[in-house]
Amino acid sequence: MTSHEDLAVRFGTPLYVYDLDEITAARHELFDALPEEFDLYYALKANPHPGLVRALRDGEGRSCRAEISSTGELAAALEAGFDGSECLYTGPGKTLGELREAIGAGVRLFSTDSVTDVRRVGEAAAGHGVVADILLRVNSASATATSSIRMTGTPSQFGFDSETLGDLLPDVLATPGVKVRGMHYFPLSNAKDENALIGEFQHTIAGAAELARRLDIPLDYLDIGGGFTVPYGVPGERGHYPKLRAELEAALDTHFPDWRAGTPRLACESGRFLIGASGTLLASVSNVKVSRGRKFVITDAGINTFGGMSGLGRLLPVAVQPQAGAETESASLVGPLCTPGDVLGREITLPALSPDDLVTVPNVGAYGPTASLLMFLGRPAPTEVIVRGDDVVSASRIEHSRSYLPTAPGASE
């Protein structure tokens, strides 16, 4: 593979480098961990770069589908070669305008979170003279996960609460323009280990079977969500799931005896696992200073480049990849922005760094530029380079621009 140092010289920093071979390996590994009957959706929120999305669709072996939550992600999926019919459109706040655009582009499968959401999908579908398939996203009353990022079992903007779904179901089923095809669950994100993930999937499968039976919900399709893990911004390997396939098959045999014949059709979804380990962030040290006994290493990559979701309190700190045998010290790694919040790691272990040295942060293929405060303070977006082996496949940068709209009532350009 072309060295990071060479790429930094060629393209400058801050620089993201994405390895397509790693993405291909992650896709094969996750498909191998799932029963063959499963569809696998890639969640574009993790990284919508069309070159990376294309790698999850194309190539040898089984292909991912696309899980999208905006018309921007839809555009990225279409640019990557997906057809609208290969997309699952999710999100609790879909507008009528975006639904019309999505249906016009061929999207026919939507995860819905409320009666209002269902009605909007139906109105948009009817306007196009079609019927949209919907999944009812379910917010279960309980969950098995005690760690990781909980996405169910609590009050939430996501999904129908399982205990009140029965009261709402007549309105859902009576909505014109839609057909209920099944259910969608997403109980957790970034499970701490395989046993936690298996336990949550078993809980989901049992709960879906019970709810479908009790409420007589049509169940042609069941998406049980994700939770597959990879380190974020620190060294480490993707999670491994040697027991998952057998445990899923056993749970499905118990609760859905006809699942192998396609009743219901099944799906999982993943973002970070498929893409996270492919990315490396390269940044240059601008300055090293000491303030009242504490050392600060200032780089050209800040929260506008990486970690803009740090306000959620779950993505920091990063860990810099040291050279073998290199001397280390404790210091804060900060960015170039004019705010004290521009911190990638406080008092973390770093190599002994000097101005113009190159800093390397691993496992940043997911939740990088598009999950950051990209436009804050008007600094250029980082360059993103895609490589396969020694070949540079593409180099690009997101550009900021402002479009002016007509100001006079009824005026158009």
Domain for residue 169, yes or no? Answer: yes
Domain for residue 333, yes or no? Answer: yes
pLDDT tens, N- to C-terminus, the chain (413 residues) = 579 999 999 999 999 999 999 999 999 999 999 999 999 999 999 999 999 999 999 988 899 999 999 999 999 999 999 999 999 999 999 999 999 999 999 999 999 999 999 999 999 999 999 999 999 999 887 655 444 444 555 657 777 888 889 999 999 999 999 999 999 999 888 888 999 999 999 999 999 999 999 999 999 999 999 999 999 999 999 999 999 999 999 999 999 999 999 999 999 999 999 999 999 999 999 999 999 999 999 999 999 999 765 444 445 678 887 676 778 899 999 999 999 889 999 999 999 999 999 999 999 999 999 999 999 999 999 999 999 999 999 999 999 889 999 998 876 54
290 and 349 share one domain: yes
320 and 254 share one domain: no
Domain for residue 404, yes or no? Answer: no
CATH number of the domain where residue 50 is located:
3.20.20.10
CATH number of the domain where residue 290 is located:
2.40.37.10
Domain for residue 6, yes or no? Answer: no
Domain for residue 412, yes or no? Answer: no
145 and 40 share one domain: yes
Domain boundary, last residue among 260, 275, 290: 275
368 and 268 share one domain: no
154 and 60 share one domain: yes
Domain for residue 304, yes or no? Answer: yes
Domain boundary, last residue among 244, 275, 306: 275
87 and 221 share one domain: yes
Question: What range does the domain containing 181 cover?
Answer: 20-275
355 and 257 share one domain: no
Number of domains in the chain: 2
Q: Residues near 141 by Cβ (< 8 Å), separated by ≥ 6?
A: 153, 161, 162, 163
Domain for residue 116, yes or no? Answer: yes
112 and 87 share one domain: yes
Domain for residue 4, yes or no? Answer: no
- Please report the pLDDT score of residue 1 as a whole number: 59
- Please report the pLDDT score of residue 27 as a whole number: 97
Domain boundary, last residue among 275, 297, 324: 275
256 and 267 share one domain: yes
202 and 53 share one domain: yes
184 and 291 share one domain: no
Indicate the pTM of the whole model: 0.93
129 and 186 share one domain: yes
